[in-house]
Amino acid sequence: MNETPTSPAPQATLAAPPLAANSTSQQVRRRQFRAAPFVLALLCFLLPFITISCQGVKAVSLTGLQLAAGTTIEQRDPITGQAHREKIPSETSVLLVLLCTAAAAGLCFASGRSGALLPAVAGAAGFLLMLVAKSHFDSQTLEQGRGVLAVGYEMGFILTCLLLLAGAGLCGFQYKQEQPQTRGPAQSQTLNA
């Protein structure tokens, strides 16, 4: 007798997840990835943004949140030793950067292509406003400091600029990748025939 080997009976395998569910989870991951630079930029507002020094001696360091909301600082007069409070008003451009960053982080979760385009625009606007804030700080220091005061830009300021630029670039790239396929003239003619 000629015996042929028999194959084992097929076993039940787990079916692959439906394509729609897989696509949805990919969209959620992309949105979270898009939002990450903006969320990190928001956290950078808790770090020192600028340091003001007088003749090379650090006078005060301010966080992004303090610049955006305004704050009161207490300083001691180096000659008399008396403490006095000084109110620092809210810096409008830094407040607008904070709002643009928060808006960009939230808009990353919008559906459709606007979930990539709108955060890119908000991130780019935030970056430009950071440059406006830097220009404003520099001009104020020159006007009021008369060569005695100097402003230094700290890690919070630098990281916020970089993260806003990275977030805007990432969202812009994903927007470009999600563009619908357009038909060329040859394709549309064959469809009409």
pLDDT value for 141: 84
Residues in contact with 24: Cβ distance below 8 Å, sequence separation at least 6, in sequence order: none
pTM reported for the whole predicted model: 0.75
Report, at the CATH architecture level, how domain 36-177 is classified. Answer: Up-down Bundle (1.20)
Give the HSE-up count for residue 140: Cα atoms under 13 Å, Cβ half-sphere: 10
For the segment 82-104, what is each residue's pLDDT rounded down to a tens digit?
777 888 888 999 999 999 999 99
Residues in contact with 104: Cβ distance below 8 Å, sequence separation at least 6, in sequence order: 38, 118, 119, 122, 123, 126, 164, 167, 168, 171
Triad 109, 131, 159: Cα angle to 5°: 60
3 state DSSP class of 77: coil
Residues in contact with 95: Cβ distance below 8 Å, sequence separation at least 6, in sequence order: 68, 69
| Domain ranges for the chain | 36-177
Residue carrying the six token digits 């990450």: 36
Cα distance between residue 98 and residue 91, in whole Å: 11
pLDDT value for 106: 94
pLDDT value for 2: 58
C-beta separation of 77 from 84 below 8 A: yes
Give the HSE-up count for residue 39: Cα atoms under 13 Å, Cβ half-sphere: 10
Cα distance between residue 126 and residue 174, in whole Å: 19
Q: Which two tokens stand for residue 10?
A: 């097929």
Per-residue pLDDT of the chain (193 residues; tens, 9 = 90+): 555 556 555 555 555 555 455 577 887 888 888 899 999 999 999 999 999 888 888 888 999 999 999 988 887 766 677 777 888 888 999 999 999 999 999 999 888 888 889 999 999 999 999 999 999 998 888 888 777 888 899 999 999 999 999 999 999 998 888 766 555 555 545 445 4
3 state DSSP class of 51: strand
